[in-house]
Amino acid sequence: MKNRYHYETTLWTQGFKRVMGLDEVGRGCLSGPVVAAGVILKPGEILDERVADSKSIDLKTREELAAMIKAKALFWAVKECSPVEVDQLNILKASFKAMLKCAEEVNADPDYLLVDGNRFTSTVLPYSCIVKGDDRSVSIASASILAKVYRDSLMKKLHNEYPQYGWDKNVGYPTKIHYDALVKYGYTKYHRKSFSLRTGKVFGSD
């Protein structure tokens, strides 16, 4: 089994008690919010060995693990930035904002942040960025699962409002069905206007 506890164990040994793993989903989507989750595990807590990058786990298992994570975590939060916020801030900054919302949630009180990716925004809290952290850190992996379960469920609900875009299957990501519907029906209030909805190119992503 891959050791996904290295970063947490090191920080717990150093005296940090509320290490929060942060991850987001939905950055590459044409529609829907960008969603982030933050998870703080009890020092020494060992979760189900199936906890890993949410993209590598099937739907049923993700939902089972999400319930387990919520039950065992010292704290967890799921936050989002709307398509309007994505358009106003750009997708990268909106992703950071959603993650900060988790860290700043009432009763979160993290003392260290483990962030998936290679960069983050300025914060008074100490943090480390971990490339592919959702497969290398148990708390980031946990956050990735909570964020994906929440966002996929949300997009499937929005599908009932706009079924022509195929959000029940693509959850807002670029697919032929999604593009074809954009050509035929135009964009909805859930689409990101700062994205080129014809080509999928993202503007202001840096």
Give the phi and the psi of residue 76 in degrees, each rounded to 5: -150, 155
**CA distance linking residue 98 with residue 22, whole number of Å:** 10
Which helix (H) or strand (E) segment is 138 a member of? helix 138-159
Residue 163 has pLDDT above 60, yes or no: yes
Q: Kindly report the average pLDDT of the chain as a whole number.
A: 93
Q: What is the pLDDT of residue 204?
A: 36
The answer to whether 151 and 24 have CB atoms below 8 angstroms apart is no
Summarised one tens digit per residue, pLDDT across range 108-159 is: 999 999 999 999 998 999 999 999 999 999 999 999 999 999 999 999 999 9
Q: Are strands 112-116 and 19-25 parallel, antiparallel or unpaired?
A: parallel
pLDDT band of 197, cuts 50, 70, 90 = low
Q: What is the pLDDT of residue 206?
A: 30
Residue 202 has pLDDT above 50, yes or no: no
Q: What is the pLDDT of residue 2?
A: 74
Residue 199 has pLDDT above 60, yes or no: no
Q: Are strands 34-40 and 75-81 parallel, antiparallel or unpaired?
A: antiparallel
- The residue behind tokens 């793993």 is 21
Q: What is the pLDDT of residue 203?
A: 36
Q: What is the DSSP string of 14-28?
A: TT---EEEEEEE-TT
Strands, DSSP E only, in 55-164?
75-81, 112-116, 127-130
Q: What is the pLDDT of residue 110?
A: 98
**CA distance linking residue 127 with residue 113, whole number of Å:** 4
Burial of 185 by CB count in 10 Å (0-12 exposed, 13-18 middle, 19+ buried)?
A: exposed
Q: Are strands 127-130 and 75-81 parallel, antiparallel or unpaired?
A: unpaired
**Across 187-201, average pLDDT:** 77
Domains (range + CATH), the chain: 6-154 (3.30.420.10)
Percentage of the chain lying above the pLDDT 90 cut: 91
Laid out side by side, the sheet with 112-116 consists of 75-81, 34-40, 19-25, 112-116, 127-130
Summarised one tens digit per residue, pLDDT across range 29-62 is: 999 999 999 999 999 999 999 999 999 999 999 9
Q: What is the pLDDT of residue 198?
A: 59
Burial of 189 by CB count in 10 Å (0-12 exposed, 13-18 middle, 19+ buried)?
A: exposed
